[in-house]
Amino acid sequence: MTRNIVFFGASLKGKEMLDVLLKNVDENYQFLFFVDNDQEKWGQKIRGYEIKKPSELHLINRKDLLIFISSMYQEEIAEQLRNMNFIENQQFFAGRTDGSSFPVTLTFSQDKQLVVNLAEKRGFKLFINKYFNSEMTKFSRVQANLNQFWVKTVEEFIPTVVVDVGLNYGEGLFSTIYKEPVDIIGIEPNPYLIDFIRNSIELHPNKNNINVVEAIASNGYNEKLEFFVNEQSGLSGLVAQNQGIKEIIYVQSIKLDDILLKKGSIDRLLFKIDVEGHEPYVLEGMSKTISSSKEAIGFVEFDSKFLDKQGINIQEYLNFLFKWFLVEIYQDRVRTSISKEGLLNLTKMKKHLHTDLVLIKK
């Protein structure tokens, strides 16, 4: 099924947004035209696309239509579209762009919202996955895995401290509401995501309990740790990908123990770690917290390729994991217990083992 895209606002901003958006769309999405309230623009073209009057929007099947406001008159046009019976954050979206930023709010429910950047590949994938994916792609399966685990665990485990390492847009952290009292911490080193995260915090019912730390969680302090910013934020990390590197920056690393131990005794610790092979160092840097917590459950990415690139000895890493935790593999929303020998054999059998582990403190 092809989705149709229309921009409301035929201006320089519209040109910028068109250039940004079309870098991310595939053959399932087609840009139709611009609409504008200025009658003098009707019939003219931008980048070969015609500028039409707003009433033309009624001639398109709404089920397949996405309208993006590409004008400085955001509120006025949003009100105009509401009066035309288009639904905000479902059929039309307001975005402010400077050529690299195109924020939209994904609405999961009245209390669950997420702000992402459509000018960035992962942000666009999250947007499409939320509203328009009819098939379970690999990306949507990964998101479903995390969200199902996270929502269920928060509801049943009732954590008192929550830590999300490799927060990205916070698609896991912001997917549910937490019972108070609770301390919630997100760790994210990518500076291009921080404003989006802060905007999402302001929309969350637990906003007064959530703090974001712009740093790399590791096993020590280092003011100049190399961080590779990728065109797709989910691939940014301490390991350079084969393609898509946009920038190399330097970010301070921290030990989570230095933050978490200040909170005193922790009854129930819930953590997620997804940092492209750096997971062993994060766990080492929070080992005292895990040891002192009464209960702890973690959701940790296990990717043999990234672990190898980080120079991690798999056998030693597994020794650490199975010393502290009962370990389960989490795939297709099913948890399956596994032994150290079983997981080690999987890494030997598969050239590239990518899965998620559930860690339950012994």
pLDDT value at residue 136: 45
Determine contact, residues 169/193, Cβ cutoff 8 Å.
yes
pLDDT in tens, 319-360: 999 999 999 999 888 999 999 999 999 999 998 999 999 999
pLDDT in tens, 210-227: 999 999 999 998 878 899
**Bridge pairing between strands 29-35 and 49-52:** parallel
pLDDT value at residue 13: 75
Q: What is the mean pLDDT of the segment spanning 120-129?
A: 79
Q: What is the mean pLDDT of the segment spanning 34-54?
A: 96
Give whole-number Cα distances, 112 to 109, 157, 173, in Å.
5, 20, 10
Give whole-number Cα distances, 84 to 93, 142, 193, 267, in Å.
14, 37, 33, 52
Give yes or no for residue 149 having a pLDDT over 80: yes
Q: Which residues contact 349 (CB under 8 A, 6 or more apart)?
A: none
Rounded CA-CA distance 144/224 in Å is: 35
Give yes or no for residue 132 having a pLDDT over 70: no
Give yes or no for residue 26 having a pLDDT over 70: no
Q: Cα–Cα–Cα angle for 140, 192, 122, nearest 5°?
A: 15
Sign of CA dihedral 316, 322, 324, 327: positive
Q: Which residues contact 114 (CB under 8 A, 6 or more apart)?
A: 105, 106, 108, 126, 169, 170, 171, 174, 175, 200
What's the predicted TM-score (pTM) here? 0.84
Q: Which domains does the chain have, with CATH numbers?
A: 3-99 (3.40.50.720), 138-361 (3.40.50.150)
pLDDT in tens, 247-275: 899 999 999 999 999 999 999 999 999 99
